[in-house]
């Protein structure tokens, strides 16, 4: 039978104080415990801490050394030690002994007595004494206030490194705790409360240890991001079913229609829609359908460079299914469906499938941004913008001169930024230098920065594979330009079906700008399939740059988007039958896979 209490000391580069800390811990435990063990959870140290811990373990059988060759992070080091601990009560406190050890007995006895499942020290309860700078005290109170409100916690202090747990309770919580570093304390306490465990918070006397530092990535981005993630997982995700997402998206679409009706006569829009040339609309749909085999070919080339040779027919079906999901879900959340399908049906690892999508999106973004910039320059140089209907009516007597100018300027700025960002990514991918790791290392060496670095390097590495294959890059680029050129031609045919009179260069230039900026707007996670966002951007730009009324421009935007979505959904239905895939299952499973990769 093991000792009743196990005390874990997380240790990272503690050579100066570790021996004294272990000795003082043993003395404090001997004062009230007949049997105990002390585990030094050494976390990939770079100094003499491992040697000191090993020697202490040899000298005293009550001391155990839990060694790690690499840095795990404080939370993961604690989890590893707790899994190896033998006690029924599992305790830990920071190796700098910031909390006075005279509080160790009440902490342990709170759990050992069976009255509580968790006990934690608090520097914010009445009667507590915490010697800390004013800035740290304010930051701590703000942080704990956010946790209390955002995560519905009843505790005052979540980050005090002085805690005790019932073994069974803690081991039931550990599989759910995702944080591996400083937020571990908060997450354990919040999840324990959600489970209904009994928690005691004790007032303590606390003095910060020497060498304590505030890490900008860890404390600001890391803790803030972890708090947001936990709030999402505990408060939002359980309620965010596919049905709820669709309902919320549809509600936003209805709201957009209500707002639009205040400024545009929807009766006129309907009248214009009834007068369109059906032959030109059918031609536009047929032209748009030609882009789908090109999407399959492009995806084949991307996967081939990442080591997977698949058939164009299967991949075209997978693209149809993922794009069908994107019609229903905001912010291109349906992309996970494609990664799921190629994993389940062809054994492509999910990270590779996700990376292939990221590479494809990079080419898409670069292509539409370059096309938009070219169109903007052509229209500006050619004088089309100055001769457009900038004075067309949005409503009776309302001028769109200013809104048109704003739309054109916004289009230029967004497209330019997209081009610059894409070129920077491509340039860094083609370089042998590793930009992310040195940059993040200068800010932090904790596990948050390391996790971010791995994500960035994995993405850059996959892009690098494509960027260093000139033949594949050229084929993918040509396919991307062809896909978006077909999209633009289809939109131009839709405008012609309304009887729009414009020269071919002006018509194609305006449609290029409208389609590209409209698709960039669809990325915003505000509505399913970007419905409303695409139409808004398309309408503003067409009205600003062509002698076209608002009802015609809005009708063309609605019909163009509707036609393309109908072709997509029809193709998705055929793909479901051909591949024998349930789209609802793919959305659910793909979302779970994506979450797993993200964490």
CATH 3.40.1260.10 fits 5-213, yes or no: no
* C-alpha to C-alpha distance for 440 and 340, rounded to whole angstroms: 31
What are the pLDDT digits (tens) for 232-263? 778 776 665 656 655 655 565 566 556 555 66
Q: Is the pLDDT of residue 404 over 80?
A: no
Q: Closest Cα partner for 196 from 92, 84, 116, 80? A: 116
Q: Among 69-78, 276-285, 564-573, which is the least confidently predicted range?
A: 69-78
Which one is predicted more confidently, 388 or 416? 416
Which one is predicted more confidently, 50 or 236? 50
* C-alpha to C-alpha distance for 554 and 540, rounded to whole angstroms: 9
CB atoms within 10 A of CB 304: 15
* C-alpha to C-alpha distance for 345 and 453, rounded to whole angstroms: 30
For 152, the 3-state DSSP assignment is coil
**Sign of CA pseudo-dihedral 152, 158, 162, 167:** positive
For strand 199-203 and strand 63-66, is the pairing parallel, antiparallel, or unpaired? unpaired
435: exposed, middle or buried (Cβ count in 10 Å: 0-12, 13-18, 19+): middle
Instruction: Supply the pLDDT for residue 392.
Output: 37
Find out whether 418 and 365 touch, Cβ atoms under 8 Å: yes
For 537, the 3-state DSSP assignment is helix
What are the pLDDT digits (tens) for 292-343? 999 999 999 988 887 888 899 999 999 998 888 888 766 566 677 888 888 8
Domain layout of the chain by residue ranges: 5-213, 242-256+276-598
Element of type H or E holding 489 = helix 470-497
Show Cβ contacts of residue 280 under 8 Å, excluding neighbours closer than 6 positions: 493, 494, 496, 497
- The DSSP symbol for 343 reads H
* C-alpha to C-alpha distance for 177 and 91, rounded to whole angstroms: 17
List 96, 117, 185, 215, catalytic entry? 185
- The DSSP symbol for 174 reads G
Q: Is 47 a catalytic residue?
A: no
* C-alpha to C-alpha distance for 233 and 453, rounded to whole angstroms: 23
What are the pLDDT digits (tens) for 469-512? 777 788 888 999 999 999 999 999 999 999 988 888 888 888 98
For 11, the 3-state DSSP assignment is strand
What are the pLDDT digits (tens) for 67-115? 888 877 888 889 999 999 999 999 999 888 888 999 999 999 999 999 9
- What is each CA distance from 315 to 103, 263, 293, 309, 487, in whole angstroms? 63, 43, 9, 10, 20
* C-alpha to C-alpha distance for 338 and 322, rounded to whole angstroms: 5
Q: For the chain, how many residues are written? A: 599
């Amino acid at each position: 039978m093991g000792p009743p209490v196990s005390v874990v000391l997380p240790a990272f580069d503690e050579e100066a104080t570790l021996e004294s800390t272990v000795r003082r811990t043993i003395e404090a435990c001997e004062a009230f415990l007949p049997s105990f063990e002390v585990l030094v959870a050494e976390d990939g140290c770079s100094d003499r801490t491992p040697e000191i811990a090993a020697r202490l373990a040899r000298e005293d059988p009550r001391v155990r050394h839990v060694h790690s060759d690499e840095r795990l992070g404080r939370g993961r080091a604690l989890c590893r030690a707790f899994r190896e601990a033998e006690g029924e009560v599992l305790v830990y406190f920071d190796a700098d002994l910031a909390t006075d050890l005279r509080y160790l007995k009440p902490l342990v006895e709170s759990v050992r007595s069976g009255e509580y499942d968790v006990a934690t020290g608090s520097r914010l309860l009445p009667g507590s004494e915490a010697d800390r700078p004013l800035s740290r005290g304010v930051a701590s109170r703000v942080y704990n206030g956010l946790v209390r409100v955002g995560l519905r916690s009843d505790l005052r202090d979540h980050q005090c490194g002085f805690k005790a747990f019932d073994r069974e309770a803690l081991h039931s919580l550990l599989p759910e705790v995702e944080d591996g570093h400083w937020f571990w304390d908060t997450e354990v306490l919040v999840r324990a409360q959600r489970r209904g465990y009994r928690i005691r918070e004790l007032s303590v006397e606390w003095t910060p240890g020497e060498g304590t530092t505030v890490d900008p990535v860890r404390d600001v981005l890391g803790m803030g991001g972890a708090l947001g993630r936990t709030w999402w997982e505990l408060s939002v995700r359980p309620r965010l079913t596919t049905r709820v997402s669709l309902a919320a998206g549809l509600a936003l679409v209805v709201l957009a229609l209500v707002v639009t009706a205040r400024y545009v006569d929807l009766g006129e829009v309907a009248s214009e829609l009834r007068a369109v040339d059906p032959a030109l609309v059918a031609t536009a749909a047929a032209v748009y359908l030609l882009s789908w085999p090109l999407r399959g070919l492009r995806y084949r080339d991307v996967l081939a460079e990442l080591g997977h040779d698949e058939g164009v027919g299967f991949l075209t079906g997978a693209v149809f299914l993922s794009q069908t999901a994107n019609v229903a879900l905001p912010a291109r959340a349906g992309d996970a469906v494609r990664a799921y399908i190629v994993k389940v049906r062809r054994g492509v690892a999910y990270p590779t499938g996700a990376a292939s999508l990221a590479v494809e999106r990079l080419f898409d973004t670069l292509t539409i941004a370059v096309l938009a910039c070219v169109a903007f320059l052509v229209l500006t140089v050619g004088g089309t913008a100055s001769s457009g209907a900038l004075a067309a009516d949005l409503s009776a007597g309302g001028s769109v001169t200013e809104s048109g100018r704003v739309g054109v300027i916004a289009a230029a700025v967004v497209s330019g930024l997209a081009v610059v960002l894409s070129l920077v990514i491509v340039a860094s991918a083609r370089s042998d230098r590793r930009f992310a790791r040195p940059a993040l290392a200068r800010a932090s060496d904790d596990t948050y920065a390391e996790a971010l670095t791995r994500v960035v390097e994995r993405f850059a590495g996959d892009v690098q594979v494509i960027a260093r294959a000139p033949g594949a890059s050229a084929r993918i680029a040509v396919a991307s330009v062809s896909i978006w050129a077909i999209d633009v031609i289809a939109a131009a045919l839709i405008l012609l079906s309304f009887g729009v009179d414009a020269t071919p260069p002006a018509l194609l230039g305006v449609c290029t700008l409208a389609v590209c900026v409209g698709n960039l707007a669809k990325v915003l996670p505000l509505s399913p399939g970007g419905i409303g966002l695409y139409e808004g951007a398309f309408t503003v730009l067409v009205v600003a740059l062509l002698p076209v009324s608002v009802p015609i421009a809005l009708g063309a935007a609605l019909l163009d988007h509707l036609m393309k979505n109908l072709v997509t959904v029809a193709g998705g239905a055929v793909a479901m039958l051909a591949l024998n895939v349930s789209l609802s299952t793919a959305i659910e499973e793909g979302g779970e896979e994506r979450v797993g990769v993200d964490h």
